Amino acid sequence: MAISGQTDTAALVAMLNERAAVNVRLALLADAQQWRLHHGHVTLDDDTSVKERAWRYSTACFRELRLPGPTVAALLRGDEQDVHGLQVVSPSPPASSASTYRLRGQEEWDRVTTPWPRTEWTISRDTNTPQPGHDLLVGDGPSFLNFDQALSAFLHQRPNDSSAGRADLWRIVLPQRAGWLEQITIGPDLLTAVVDGEVLDGAVLELSWAAGNQNHPVDGAGTYSFQLPHGLAHDSLLMLRREHQWLDWRSFPAPTYGRARDASVVWEQPGPELDLLLSNGEGQHLECKREVPEGESRKKMLKTVAAFASQDGGTILIGVGDDLQTVGLPEGANVDKQELQVVGMIRDSVEPAPPYELRVIDHDGRKVLAIEVSGGGQMYAYRDGQRAEFYVRVGPNTVLARHHEIASGFRQAPTGTTF
C-alpha cells in the first residue's frame, strides 16, 4: 500500500530548479496560438536517457523529451514556456500542494510498476478545465479514435481504460534505488531474498511476524536466507531498512486476491500459498466450490465472477469444501477439460469478457482450480438469456447491485463499453 501525504508545490518547484535536466512526457491540447497542458509526467532520474517522441495532430500534441529542470519548474509554477517551438501554457494557477505517495518496489500505482521503490507527487487538474474532444486523431503520429486512447498509448503503451482520463495535471516520479528486493522465494521451510541496490551500506534485512523477528545484516547486493522451521507465519513482513528508514518491503497477509500477481514473489511450493489464502475463510474476496458447479450453483458462481470483476477482484477455488478443507478435483478428472469447461461458462455468461486467470494449485497431492478475477474498473454483467444482471460482493455474499452502484460503475467504464 502506498504511504501518502502532502507536499508544498513550492518545494517541488525548488527541487526541479536544482536539476540540470529531467525526462518529461507532455500531453498538450491546441488552444488558439498556444498549446494548453493537459498532463505532464516528469521523471527525476539522472541515469536514464530518453528516446524522444513527437506525435502532433491538429488538436493535440504529445512530446517526450529531456528538458532543463528550470523550464519544467516554470511550467509547474504556471508560467508560459517555449518547448521546442511550442508555446505551452498551464490551464490554471497551480495547486498549493501535491499529493505524495511513497511506494515499495513492484507496487502498481496508476498503471506504473517498477522493480525499485519510488516517490510520486500528483497535482490535480482544475475540474472546470475544458476536456479534450472525442474526434479522431490523424497526423504526424499513430492514428487514434480519440484523445484518451492516444494518451493511454503514449504514457503506458497499453489500450485505453478509465485511468487514462485521470484528473492529474502533473505527475512527478523520483526513483529510489538505494536498495530493493529483487526477488523473494518462499519454500516450506526457507525464505530467500535477492537484494540489489546502489547504497546498501548499513542496511538490514528483517523478517518479522506476530511472535518474533529475525535480522540479517546486508553487506551488499546478493542473496540472503531465513529459516522457516514452522513455515511462513501469517502476516509476516519482510523489510529492507537502514536504521529507522525503510528502503523496500513485502508483506504476506495472504496471496493477493485476484489482482496482478507480484512478479518478485515466487512460491516454491504452492501448498503454503493456498493455506494462507484459506486462512481468512470465505469473504469479500474468496469463494470456495467443492467441484465445477452445475445448474443453480453454476449461476451463483458466474454471478460471483461478475461481482469480483465489477469491484476489486477475488478468487474462486474449485476443489475446496464449505468447511475450507481441500478435497481436490475428482479423482480421474481431466483437469484440462475442466479448465475449458470453466472458460466456456465465463465466456458465455459474463459480459464484457472479465479479466481473470485460471491456475491449478497442487496441495497435499490434490489439485485445486483457482479462478483469479481482477477488478476491471467497470461493471460486468451476468447474462441470463436476454437479461443482463449486475452484482456486487457484500462480505461472503453475492447480491444484486443497487442503481447507484451500477451508475457509478458505468461512469468509470472505458469508452466504447457496451452490453
On the question of pLDDT at 16 being above 80, the answer is yes
Contact 242, 218 (CB under 8 A): no
Calculate ∠ Cα 102-107-109, nearest 5°.
Answer: 75
Calculate ∠ Cα 299-304-305, nearest 5°.
Answer: 100
Q: pLDDT tens digits, residue range 83-142?
A: 999 999 988 888 899 999 999 999 887 778 899 999 999 999 887 778 888 899 999 999
**Cell numbers at 413, concatenated:** 467504464
Element (H, E) at 69: helix 69-77
Q: pLDDT tens digits, residue range 141-171?
A: 999 999 999 998 999 887 775 444 467 899 9
Q: Which of 182-191, 216-225, 271-280 has the highest mean pLDDT?
A: 216-225
Whole-structure pTM value:
0.70
Give residue for cell 461472503: 396
Q: What is the pLDDT of residue 258?
A: 55
Q: How many CB atoms lie within 10 A of CB 366?
A: 16
Q: What is the pLDDT of residue 269?
A: 61
Q: To the nearest whole number, what is the mean pLDDT of the chain?
A: 88
Residue 163 phi/psi, 5-degree rounding, is -75, -15
Q: pLDDT tens digits, residue range 29-39?
A: 998 889 999 99
**Cell numbers at 372, concatenated:** 483469479
Q: What is the pLDDT of residue 254?
A: 58
Q: Is 154 exposed, middle or buried (0-12, 13-18, 19+ CB in 10 A)?
A: buried
Element (H, E) at 143: strand 141-144
On the question of pLDDT at 23 being above 90, the answer is yes
Q: pLDDT tens digits, residue range 80-93?
A: 999 999 999 988 88
Residues 6+ apart with CB under 8 A from 212: none
Q: pLDDT tens digits, residue range 330-378?
A: 887 788 999 999 999 999 999 998 988 888 888 888 899 999 898 877 8
Instruction: Determine the Cα–Cα distance for residues 95 and 178; give it in Å rounded to an integer.
Output: 31
Q: pLDDT tens digits, residue range 40-81?
A: 999 998 767 788 999 999 999 999 999 999 999 999 999 999
Domains of the chain and CATH, by start: 3-175 (no CATH), 180-253 (2.60.40), 281-412 (3.30.950.30)
Q: What is the pLDDT of residue 163?
A: 45
On the question of pLDDT at 276 being above 80, the answer is no
Mean pLDDT of 397-411: 80
Q: Is 140 exposed, middle or buried (0-12, 13-18, 19+ CB in 10 A)?
A: exposed
Instruction: Determine the Cα–Cα distance for residues 247 and 353; give it in Å rounded to an integer.
Output: 39
Instruction: Determine the Cα–Cα distance for residues 26 and 64; give it in Å rounded to an integer.
Output: 6
Give residue for cell 457509478: 408
Mean pLDDT of 303-309: 94
Q: How many CB atoms lie within 10 A of CB 120?
A: 20
Element (H, E) at 338: helix 335-349
Instruction: Determine the Cα–Cα distance for residues 206 and 238; give it in Å rounded to an integer.
Output: 6
3-state SS assignment for residue 332: coil
Contact 192, 225 (CB under 8 A): yes
Q: What is the pLDDT of residue 332?
A: 77
Q: Which amino acid is at 243?
A: E
Q: What is the pLDDT of residue 261?
A: 63
